[in-house]
């Protein structure tokens, strides 16, 4: 049963975005109905992974129960239907990102694989020794390590844009780093550890003024902000399905057609070829050139279902609701004695990263867990960010469209309890 | 809250606030570093070992309350013990916090039994045992780095 679908047929015809009803949304997520350690689950670890609405779970189940077949291969009924569904999913993703052409949408395992694909395909083909790649000081390890691997392979250089004490990228420093040796900029749209929303459109314009292509890591952005890759103008955009209420193991690399066509394949195998002999192989056209092997078909369909679900609620409505919830949570956390927010950028999304005076984040995580609250305690795969702020780890509460003010209140109450235990 | 109370006992909170032997002994002749990449806990354990006896022991570093208190209580427990005695203590301690394999020669844990509650928090076992693994590394090698991963 799909709650989302039922709602489209209600007699009132009121679009859901007209009134953002968080309690109705919560009912769409089966996992949120459970109790943890006897307390209602308060899931605030959305930057790590998001929960899945019933419509996504049903889509995956329906695929395996009624549609399962390999794609782009069989002439039989099921294969044709699975192929059509998968290519529909690609078009759904293209519309979601406002890509010019579905062929620019490459299915990958996640944002990590998308970045690795660009590093290994584009990087090895078009960068050389001494060329520079610019990233920021707030990148997730997945937007650091692939470039370090490339650096080892070709002798490129990695340049890092510093951030200020609020966790904001220093645009002037960024401008100063761009030079004739800069061959690629790769930057997060939203920081997973700080919540900072980077002015990526401006960063892209500045890079383009020098003819430098830009990759945007949108893993933390797509669940919270409407994204238009044509408006941004970036050459590459990556995100992970599982942070967008879709299954794990599926993600997207968007790339401009011209670049993707010039890039060599990333992996070899089935589906990415048009003809193979032992002497020579002709590669398939876009997007299949980059999709070797049988993909995560159910995941791709689940991703499309998640996008349709979010679109139906309204991406702008979600962003507005979350913005207000983030403001409420920021103010509420400020009332907790000894709490210091790490990441206080003017433009933020979803993430509340903080430390509590005298209490290690790991201990906070354990105590909150006993109250049913799921947060992340650690370095959030962004060790350089921790070093920048001189902390070994932070507590990170990250919000999604199904979180409520009441849950924020539970978090604040539990943090007061932490203070009592460690008083 | 009772289960949390089992974990965060007053003795643990006290050793977290006021860790014992929280320094590098002047005459230390063995050293190892312990690191838990999951949470960033990092401790150095220093030993002064003479004739197979741990004459002095200290530690430095940072970590959560469980790992810090465990390191503190460990140093207090192994000071003056032979290497073999310290090894038996670790085996019994490990059994206490993991409910794993029973030690061949169980020994009295004394104050260390305050960590019995850790068993109910499987993700915290590494916190409680980090200092011990580091001690073991310091005893096994002259210098080394040990990781819980």
What pLDDT is stored for residue A384 in this prediction?
Answer: 93
What pLDDT is stored for residue B148 in this prediction?
Answer: 59
Is the pLDDT at A417 greater than 60, yes or no? Answer: yes
Cis peptide bond upstream of B112, omega within 30: no
What pLDDT is stored for residue A176 in this prediction?
Answer: 98
Average pLDDT score over residue span A296-324: 97
What pLDDT is stored for residue B3 in this prediction?
Answer: 77
Q: CA neighbours within 13 Å on the CB side: how many for A275?
A: 4
Least confident stretch, A134-143, A144-153, A333-342, B117-126: B117-126
Q: CA of A330 to nearest chain B CA: how many angstroms apart?
A: 24
Total structural domains in chain A? 2
Check if the beta carbon of residue A110 is closer than 8 Å to that of residue A240: yes
Q: Where is the domain boundary, A290, A311, A332?
A: A311
Do residues A320 and A224 both lie within one domain? no
Q: Does A422 touch chain B (CB under 8 A)?
A: yes
At residue A19 the predicted structure's pLDDT band, cuts being 50, 70 and 90, is confident
CATH of the domain at B32: 3.90.1010.10
Pairing of strands A214-217, A251-255: unpaired
Do residues A172 and A320 both lie within one domain? no
**Residue A254 token pair:** 């968007």
Look at A362 and B66 and tell me if their CB atoms are within 8 Å.
Answer: yes
What pLDDT is stored for residue A410 in this prediction?
Answer: 98
Look at B65 and A363 and tell me if their CB atoms are within 8 Å.
Answer: yes
What is the tens place of the pLDDT at every residue in A209-234? 999 999 999 999 999 999 999 999 99
- A366 → closest Cβ in B13, B63, B124: B124
Is the pLDDT at A25 greater than 70, yes or no? Answer: yes
Q: What is the span of the domain harbouring residue B76?
A: 2-147
The residues pairing with A78 across neighbouring beta strands, listed in sequence order, are none
Check if the beta carbon of residue A70 is closer than 8 Å to that of residue A82: yes
Chain B contact set for A392 (CB, 8 A): 39-42, 62-63
pTM for this predicted structure: 0.92
Task: Check if A381 is active-site.
Answer: yes
- Would you tell me the crossing angle of helices B10-17 and B65-78 to the nearest 10 degrees? 90
What is the tens place of the pLDDT at every residue in A28-71? 999 999 999 999 999 999 999 999 999 999 999 999 999 999 99
CATH of the domain at A247: 3.40.640.10
Return the residue of A nearest to B9 by Cα: A421
Q: Where is the domain boundary, A268, A288, A311?
A: A311
Q: What is the span of the domain harbouring residue A106?
A: 67-311
Do residues A343 and A218 both lie within one domain? no
Question: Does residue A7 belong to any structural domain of this protein?
Answer: no
More confident residue, B99 or A342: A342
- Would you tell me the crossing angle of helices A361-369 and B65-78 to the nearest 10 degrees? 110
Total structural domains in chain B? 1
Name the percent of chain A lying above pLDDT 70. Answer: 96
At residue B132 the predicted structure's pLDDT band, cuts being 50, 70 and 90, is very high
Do residues A270 and A371 both lie within one domain? no
Chain B contact set for A360 (CB, 8 A): 39, 63-65, 68
Q: Where is the domain boundary, A248, A278, A311?
A: A311
* Pairwise CA distance, residues A285 & A139, whole Å: 32
Question: Does residue A293 belong to any structural domain of this protein?
Answer: yes
Do residues A193 and A262 both lie within one domain? yes
CATH of the domain at A45: 3.90.1150.10
The residues pairing with A45 across neighbouring beta strands, listed in sequence order, are A398
Report H helices in A131-236: 145-154, 171-177, 200-208, 229-232
């Amino acid at each position: 049963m799909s709650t989302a679908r039922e709602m489209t047929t209600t007699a009132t015809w009121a679009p859901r975005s007209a009134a953002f009803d968080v309690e109705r949304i919560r009912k769409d997520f089966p996992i949120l109905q459970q109790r943890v350690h006897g307390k209602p689950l308060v899931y605030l670890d959305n930057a790590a992974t998001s929960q899945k609405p019933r419509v996504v779970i049903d889509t995956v189940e329906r695929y395996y129960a009624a549609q399962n077949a390999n794609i782009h291969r069989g002439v039989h009924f099921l294969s044709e239907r699975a192929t059509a569904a998968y290519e529909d999913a690609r078009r759904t993703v293209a519309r979601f990102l406002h890509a010019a052409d579905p062929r620019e949408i490459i299915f990958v395992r996640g944002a990590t694989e998308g970045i690795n694909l660009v590093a290994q395909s584009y990087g090895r083909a078009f960068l050389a020794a001494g060329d520079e790649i610019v990233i920021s000081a707030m990148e997730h390890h997945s937007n650091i390590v692939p470039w370090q691997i490339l650096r080892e392979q070709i002798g490129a250089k990695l340049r890092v844009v510093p951030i200020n004490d609020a966790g904001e990228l220093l645009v002037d420093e960024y401008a100063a780093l761009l030079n004739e040796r800069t061959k690629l900029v790769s930057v997060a749209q939203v920081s997973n550890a700080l919540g900072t929303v980077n002015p990526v459109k401006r960063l892209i314009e500045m890079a383009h003024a020098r003819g430098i292509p830009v990759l945007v890591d949108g893993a933390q952005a797509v669940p919270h902000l409407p994204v238009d890759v044509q408006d941004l103008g970036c050459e590459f955009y990556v995100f992970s399905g599982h942070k967008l209420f879709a299954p794990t193991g599926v993600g997207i690399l968007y790339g401009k057609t011209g670049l993707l066509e010039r890039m060599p394949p990333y992996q070899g195998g089935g589906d990415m070829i048009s003809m193979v002999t032992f002497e020579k192989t002709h590669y398939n056209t876009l997007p299949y050139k980059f999709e070797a092997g049988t993909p995560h078909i159910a995941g791709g369909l689940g991703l499309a279902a998640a996008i349709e679900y979010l679109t139906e609620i309204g991406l702008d409505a979600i962003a507005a609701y979350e913005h207000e919830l983030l403001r409420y949570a920021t103010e509420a956390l400020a009332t907790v004695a000894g709490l210091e927010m790490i990441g206080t950028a003017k433009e933020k999304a979803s993430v509340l990263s903080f430390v509590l005076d005298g209490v290690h984040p790991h201990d906070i995580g354990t105590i909150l867990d006993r109250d049913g609250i799921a947060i992340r305690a650690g370095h959030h795969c962004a060790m350089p960010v921790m070093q920048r702020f001189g902390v070994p780890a932070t507590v990170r509460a990250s919000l999604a469209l199904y979180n409520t003010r009441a849950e924020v209140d539970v978090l604040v109450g539990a943090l007061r309890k932490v203070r009592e235990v460690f008083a | 809250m009772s289960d949390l109370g089992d974990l965060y006992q007053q003795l643990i909170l006290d050793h977290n606030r006021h860790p014992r032997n929280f320094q590098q002994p002047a005459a230390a002749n063995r050293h190892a570093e312990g690191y838990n990449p999951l949470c960033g806990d990092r401790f150095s354990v220093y030993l002064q070992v003479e004739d197979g006896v741990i004459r002095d022991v200290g530690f430095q570093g940072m970590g959560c309350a469980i790992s810090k208190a465990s390191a503190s209580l460990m140093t207090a427990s192994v000071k003056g013990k032979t290497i073999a005695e310290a090894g038996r203590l670790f085996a019994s301690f490990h059994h206490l916090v993991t409910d794993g394999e029973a030690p061949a020669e169980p020994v009295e844990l004394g104050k260390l039994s305050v960590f019995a509650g850790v068993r109910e928090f499987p993700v915290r076992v590494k916190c409680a045992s980090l200092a011990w693994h580091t001690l073991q590394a310091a005893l096994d090698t002259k210098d080394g780095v040990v990781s819980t991963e």
